[in-house]
Structure 1
Amino acid sequence: MGTVPANTPKPPYYAVIFTSLRTEGDDGYGEMAERMVALASQQPGFLGVESAREGVGITVSYWQSLEAIAAWKANLEHREAQKLGRERWYSAFRVRICKVEREYGL
């Protein structure tokens, strides 16, 4: 889905952390997840994405600004995916938006 670790710029920037529990079966989820990553990567302000799934799914997307995050949330195709997620794909989820103030690593 996304490269790990994402190649992010010098902080500050923002992270949207999406933590989820899936329902049984795919029911179109895999295709939609790939489409959302492709679509998000075309949005102004998108910086990267990282994702892992083993039991609990965690996807972290990185953005230049809160305005870029709000524009992505409002994207019509993304809104349809959100609706399907609530109806079909997730038994529970949380979205957390954080400001990244410091970053370091190898």
Structure 2
Amino acid sequence: MELAKPYYAVIFSSLRTDGDEGYAQMAEEMETLARKQPGFLDIESARDGVGITVSYWESLEAIADWKANMDHKQAQKKGIQTWYSWYKVRICKVEREYEFNK
């Protein structure tokens, strides 16, 4: 993924509670919705114990707009009530990147 720099990364690290409780469906819906947001660039996700989802954005304003999205706010509320025992959000400015690809 080659993105114009600088851009921003929102790193969401989390520990899930037991059971799905609608999590998988909501995660899919939130990714679909995020992809439609102005300023959204891409997303990557992995889970093996601690889950890490990194979404990429053009600006801090785009990130703030996503956080304020009403559907996203409902998902955040459900996450606190049901899906997560812990999470942390980090917002970083990406100025440089490199990769290896065999």
Provide the residue aligned with 2:26 in structure 1. Answer: 32
**Where in structure 1 are there 5+ consecutive unaligned residues?**
1-6
State yes or no: 1:72 paired with 2:61: no
Q: Give the % identical residues.
A: 67
Q: CA deviation at 1:10?
A: 2.4
Query: What is residue 91 of structure 1 aligned with on the other side?
Result: 85
Q: Distance in 2 between matches of 1:20 and 1:47?
A: 22
The CA deviation at 1:19 is 0.1
Give the paired residue count.
100
TM-score by length of 2: 0.96
Q: TM-score, normalised by structure 1?
A: 0.92
Query: Where do 4+ consecutive residues of structure 1 move more than 4 Å?
Result: none
Residue 57 of structure 1: aligned partner: 51
CA displacement at 1:36 relative to structure 2: 0.3
Structure 2 stretches lacking a partner, 5+ long: none
Give the CA deviation at 1:8: 4.0
